[in-house]
Structure 1
Amino acid sequence: MKKSVFLLFGLMLWASTATFAHNPDYFIGTWDVLISDTPQGNVNVTLKLERVEGKLIGKFSPVGSEEGTTITNISEQENGIILYFFAEGYDLYLSLNAAEEDKLSGYLIDQFPVKGERVKK
């Protein structure tokens, strides 16, 4: 019985995550993002994404600042998005997936864990 309940819960969680990821506009908005364990320590940024003429565009800003890094390209995947940008002298990418409602997770250059939460207005 416990296995059945656990399996049912797991399937419901998986189905809800899949629903969020398949919404092409899920990532649009403002996100509070934490990038963990970088050489500079934990980095907290605000990520703003919008759709202009059918294409996602965006920008990172340090928390509390309007100055930021422009995202040069956003690749929309079936289960998430990949953001490409130039920072600290390197071409970098950030892969993001819908984690649950109004949350996201992923990795910066497949090494540093990323978690984020939608900023409610």
Structure 2
Amino acid sequence: MKKLSVLFSFVLLLFLANGVHAQQSDTYFVGKWDILIKGLPQGDTEALVKFELKDGKLTGSITGKADQKDMPFTDVALKDSVVVVKFDHSSGEVEMSLLKKDADNISGQVNGQFNLTGVRKKED
């Protein structure tokens, strides 16, 4: 079962690797998201993901809640209900895919290995 999951993740990432850039009309991901990345070597990790539209393009960053280190996205590719972002981390370049589940929830993976879940952060 685990091999099937890894194979599915690999195929999904290959499909997304075509690098389709964000469409101007899609604003679903815009805002702040509380995410939980599960199963990392240092344990489950919480982070805040921020997306915004700049000059009609989707941009953003990820901030670890523990260390408060803000890492801007170096690449953002959007296709249908999936966005793939890349950012530089102390361990190297990281690729994260986020899939729209419903109005306020996302799921995804980091480097095709670690699952994540996310919830849209409500503004105060």
Range of TM-score over shorter length = 0.7 to 0.9
Partner Cα separation in structure 1 for residue 66 and residue 29 of structure 2: 21
**Distance of 2:83 and 2:35 partners within structure 1:** 15
Distance 2:69 2:81 in 1: 30
Partner of 1:85: 87
Gap regions ≥5 residues in structure 1: 1-22
Contact persistence 2:105–2:117 (CA under 8 A): yes
Cα shift at 1:63: 2.1
Distance in 2, Cα, partners of 1:66 & 1:29: 18
- Counterpart Cα distance in 1 of 2:81 and 2:46: 24
C-alpha deviations, 1:76-110, integer Å up to 9, x for none? 11231001111123111000011122110010011
Q: After the TM superposition, which segments of 4 or more aligned residues of structure 1 sit over 6 Å from their partners?
A: none
- Report the counterpart of residue 70 of structure 1 in structure 2: 72
Q: Which runs of 5+ in 2 are unaligned?
A: 1-24
Q: Which residue of 2 aligns with 1:56?
A: 58
Identity %: 28
Q: Residue 80 of structure 2: SS of its match in structure 1?
A: coil
1:110 aligns with 2:108: no
Q: Which has the larger radius of gyration?
A: 1
Count of residue pairs brought into register by the alignment: 99
Structure with a larger share of its residues in helix: 1
The one-letter code matched in structure 2 to 1:85 is: F
SS at match of 2:38: strand
Q: 1:110 to 1:34 in 2, by over 3 A?
A: same
TM-score (norm. length: structure 2): 0.74
Q: CA RMSD in A?
A: 1.6
The superposition leaves residues 48-90 of structure 1 with CA deviations (integer Å, 9 ceiling, x where unpaired) of 1100001111111122775411110100112310011111231
